[in-house]
Amino acid sequence: MLQKKLQTQKGIIVFVPHYIGSFKYYEKLVPYLQERYEVYFLLLFVHEKYFAEMKDYALKGEYRTFVVEPPANGVFDWIAPIRYARNIKVFKTGVLKLFYDNPRIRKIISVNDSGVYVRYLFNEANKIGVGTMVLQWAMFLEGARNWNKKQVKGFRGLLYTVGKPIYAKLKRLIARLILGRGFILSKALPGRGNSKKFGVINRQAYDYFVQNGVPKEKLSIAGYLDYYFAEKVKQDFGRNERGREAAARRLLINMQKKQIVFFSSPYNGKDIRVLTDEGQYNFTEALVKAIRAVFPAETHDIRVKIHPTENIELYRPLSKWGVTLYDKHTNNYELIYFADLYIAGGTTTNFIPLVMDKDAIFVNFLKHPIIESTKKVFNIRHFVTDYPTFTKLLTDFKNGTLAKQYYDVGGVTTPDSLNKILEWIG
């Protein structure tokens, strides 16, 4: 009787986001999957910095969730190996309970298949025939891990240099003792772990991952949702005046002015950490001041959209320059649709203005090699690295003579991405 009931119910598909950005990407797929699956989000306490935020967002959005809760605080939390062992044990129990309690789980889609936690999740899923899949949702920043290696000098640096490899070996030992001697523990490029399928955004990404050791047989060019939704918003607003005006009111857009939109990238965050919070603000303010020197507030609005990992409060003082701030929940497609000029660094959001054929300026004032490496991802002609050149390009835009800063959009996008992703999921 139970078996017959399971056969008549929908299977469950589970998305595993690691922070609010990947959650918001995967949630776009929910309406298109509900006919075939019950859609759940698996929230893991090991994503501790963003765990509470994701739980709150899921609750407000009334999404179904599975949650592996953190262990209770212990008196020995200050001892790193003990804390790590406790986390591993609690996580293992949570994963085994997840599969035992939910036999209708058919597929799990995550942002990666590396690291001890997701690797163990996929390991147990593979044992019982649950599909294990990685769906690329953002760029992979080449060299980011090497660039952000912790630099500690003096005696503390010596202790760190000697102690880190010892602690890494201890963690591997702890993980194997708890998860099983045959368990493989390693951090690696997405796709090189134990997933069965890896869907990437375009041909460039496919070639990159193949060259870096991801097996061809698990790779597919699934596409990228930003390609689809950017084109959809452009078409919908182009023929629907009421919808366009409603979106403008929602975003506080003054249609009588030109709109300059800057998308922030954190240089004080996890992927790139070369600035303090104060330095990040000063970096952004310098860019805003340069824009204001060319475009007065009477004719041009400046709108700054923060990255999902950033705190909007850092940028509140920009109000003195007439800046309107947008938080992580802003609809990027709509905001960029209203942009007369788009400005950003090496963010994945750059695909949207390309698809919408917007005037754009791409900046890398810190001359960071990782940002420079994204030039080929978007077919950007060049990043601006100094303010005189930036001012010249702003003046060119003002005069209607700004040269296109990117080329061959078709070479870096994947057509019919939504359908391709849905077919890839199956």
Distance CA 151, CA 160 (A): 9
Query: pLDDT per position in the chain (426 positions), as tens?
Result: 344 444 558 999 999 999 999 999 999 999 999 999 999 999 999 888 899 999 999 999 999 999 999 988 877 778 888 888 899 999 999 999 999 999 999 999 999 998 889 999 999 999 999 999 999 998 875 554 444 444 545 445 555 555 667 777 887 888 888 888 777 777 678 999 999 999 999 999 999 999 999 999 999 999 999 999 999 999 999 999 999 999 999 999 999 999 999 999 999 887 788 899 999 999 999 999 999 999 999 999 999 999 999 999 999 999 999 999 999 999 999 999 999 999 999 999 999 999 999 999 999 999 999 899 999 999 999 999 999 999 999 999 999 999 999 999 999 999 999 999 999 999
Question: Which one, of 54, 83, 78, 80, lies nearest residue 67 by Cα?
Answer: 54
Question: Which one, of 271, 57, 32, lies nearest residue 41 by Cα?
Answer: 57
pLDDT of residue 166: 78
Instruction: Count Cβ atoms within 10 A of the Cβ of residue 88 and give its class: 0-12 exposed, 13-18 middle, 19 or more buried.
Output: buried
Q: pTM (2 decimals)? A: 0.88
pLDDT of residue 39: 98
Question: Which one, of 124, 113, 132, 126, lies nearest residue 179 by Cα?
Answer: 124
Sign of CA dihedral 275, 281, 285, 287: positive
pLDDT of residue 155: 46
